[in-house]
Chains A and B, each alone.
Chain A
Amino acid sequence: MAWWLRSYALLFRWALLRLRFVVPLMVLIQIVLSVGIVVGFAFLIPGVDEDPVAAQYLSTGAMAIALIAVCMAFAPSMVSQQKTQGIFDFQRSLPVPRSATLVADATTWVLVALPGLAAGMLAATLRFDLELRVSPLALPAVLLVALTCVSIGYAIAYLVPPMAAQMTTNLVLFFALMFSPINFPEERLPEWLASLHDVLPLTYMAQAIRDTLAVPAEGVSGLPFAVLGLWCLAGLATTQWVMSRRG
């Protein structure tokens, strides 16, 4: 365990060192994205100011999108870049537990995502007259969503060739933004797409954040946590398998 923690600490430092020049740009893009969703999407919805549900969806949806952008698009694209440069094999040749590498990377990405989350939240409270009822489960929800995004994003980046991985993660982001019940209620989607979202993790990411920041009358549902937990485990298992696989 001491070896695992030592490896984790050093790999985390190593990841921060290598990313420190790109991180400011990523944080900036992400702040623009989450603030942009709150402000920009409001133009698309007529009467949003008189519709507390729409405002709530936009505000909490922006946070979910911010996490998805960093952990499911930026993070995997860095992995693809490492693969293209041949650095991936060097990282794999280091004498550290594979899981420590993954957790160190995930920690880095969650930290990168936090400023965007805060900015989205701030923009939402300024733009709308929001009534937030924050649950103690809010932080675990954010962490679970982030970890699930990283684990799925990494699984894609590890499994798929670099070019295809970049396109796939961009597609995921676009799909999340436009065709997922993240910024709007599921009822607005056609039935087939809504049922597809019953098995995909995107809806549950948005719901976990929404329910814990604006707790509904019936309380926080356990379902999103359970589904995200399963997706997260599947992603981690795939990533761990690809990392340890010897061709």
Chain B
Amino acid sequence: MLWIHQLRKEYKPGEPANDGISLQVRPGQVLGLLGHNGAGKTTLINQVVGLLRPTAGEITLDGHDLVANPAQARRSCALMPQAHAPLDGVTPRQAVETIGRIRGAPRARARERTSELLAELGIEEWADTIGERLSGGVRRLAAFAMAAVRPGHVVMLDEPTNDVDPVRRRLLWGQVRVLAEAGYAVLLVTHNVAEAERSVDRLAIMDRGRIVAKGTPAELRERAVGELRLELLASDAASIAPKIPTAGPTQRTGRRYLMPITGATAPEALAWALRLREAGTIDEFSITPTSLEDVYVGLIASTGENGNGDGANDPRGSGVVAA
């Protein structure tokens, strides 16, 4: 089990990039690390893989101290970095196979696993194309394969789905689950809350170097105010005040209004919204279940000045009622 306890990292004295971080990732588990840019996620994984030395705190893997032994950290943890993987001049097949062998796989096994991964990720077509001619998404998937070809015990993925098309994103998330099922502990950094919600076992939300919430996606969603959201798109700039009992304050972004409501008040909200549309006050509306993204933005906003409600107003969950 990867065990992180009270981890602190200061690049400059008194300005922690990570502050009192405690986490556990078990074999077979996918832990999603959510947070805005600069929240300290990459700093955290760079300490686990031994590229950075913690200012204080412990990181152990199955009881072995990874801070004292960075060589073991590198053997045990495969990293897919946020930056581009080294694919210039090499094809995805060459890169994945070579990294597999460097990470200890015998030649035949590395070759077999490479073919398997490239096929599963849907990039066989570009398997023998050199890096310079690949799109950002294919490079990203190849970088994922370079981390997944021969992981030690832990796989760390930093923003794995950036630039990847929606179809192959699903394939990638599928492979993340395959890694977990094979018994690896997966630590995954992402901005994509909606996708993470479906693919991770547990989530930790980071803000300004600290963990502000952790739990399963269901546990985190329970922290939301009201289980539904009524979204209105006003037809003009005039202000709309809620004429129904809401479960929390209304958030407004331009012409869009987002009101937390409970299941009990949903029929009333629906009737009100229909009246507003009939009167021409709004162009459209929707009632959707509260998404994890709402919870995430709410948490970040409540702990500092980072959240401004923008982005919270785009719940793309399965709509209960949509107009």
Contacts and interface: CB of A to CB of B under 8 A. Distances in A.
B135 to A, nearest CB: 17
Interface in B60-107: 70-71, 74-75, 77, 79, 81-86, 88-90, 94, 98-99, 101-104
Given A20-B89, A22-B89, A87-B86, A93 B81 contact: yes
Contact of A93 (B51, B53, B82): B51
A10 B100 CA distance: 10
B226 interface: no
B193 interface: no
A46 interface: no
A21 interface: yes
A244 B69 CA distance: 12
Interface stretch (A11-19, A58-66, A219-227): A11-19
Contact of B102 (A85, A86, A95): A95
B103 A95 contact: yes
A7 to B, nearest CB: 7
A89 B75 CA distance: 15
Contact of B152 (A85, A87, A91, A95): A95
A231 to B, nearest CB: 28
Interface residues of B, number: 31
Contact of B51 (A14, A19, A92): A92
A21 B89 CA distance: 6
- Which of B77, B85, B86, B130 is the most central at the interface, judged by chain A CB atoms within 10 Å of its CB? B86
Contacts of B224: none
A90 interface: yes
Interface string B18-52: 00000000000000000000000000001001111
Question: Interface size class for chain A?
Answer: 20 to 34
A95 B70 CA distance: 10
B11 interface: yes
Contact of A90 (B50, B52, B79, B103): B79
Q: Is the interface of A mostly helix, strand, loop or mixed?
A: helix
Interface in B255-312: none
Interface in A1-52: 7, 10-11, 13-14, 17-22
Contacts of A91: 86
Nearest to B54: A246
B85 A95 contact: no
A86 B98 contact: no
A194 interface: no
Nearest to B50: A246
Given A82-B86, A246-B51, A246-B53, A93 B79 contact: yes
Nearest to B47: A246
Contacts of B79: 90, 93
A68 to B, nearest CB: 25
A86 B51 contact: no
A247 interface: yes
Contacts of A22: 89
Contacts of A14: 98, 102
B52 A94 contact: no
Given A20-B89, A22-B89, A246-B50, A89 B102 contact: no
12 contacts: A13-B98, A14-B102, A18-B86, A20-B89, A85-B83, A87-B85, A87-B86, A92-B51, A93-B77, A93-B81, A94-B99, A95-B104
Q: Which 9 A-B pairs have the closest CB atoms?
A: A86-B83, A246-B53, A95-B75, A95-B74, A87-B86, A93-B79, A18-B89, A10-B102, A21-B89
Given A10-B101, A94-B103, 18 more contacts: A11-B102, A14-B98, A17-B94, A17-B98, A20-B89, A82-B86, A86-B83, A87-B85, A90-B81, A91-B86, A93-B50, A93-B51, A93-B79, A95-B71, A95-B102, A95-B152, A246-B51, A247-B51
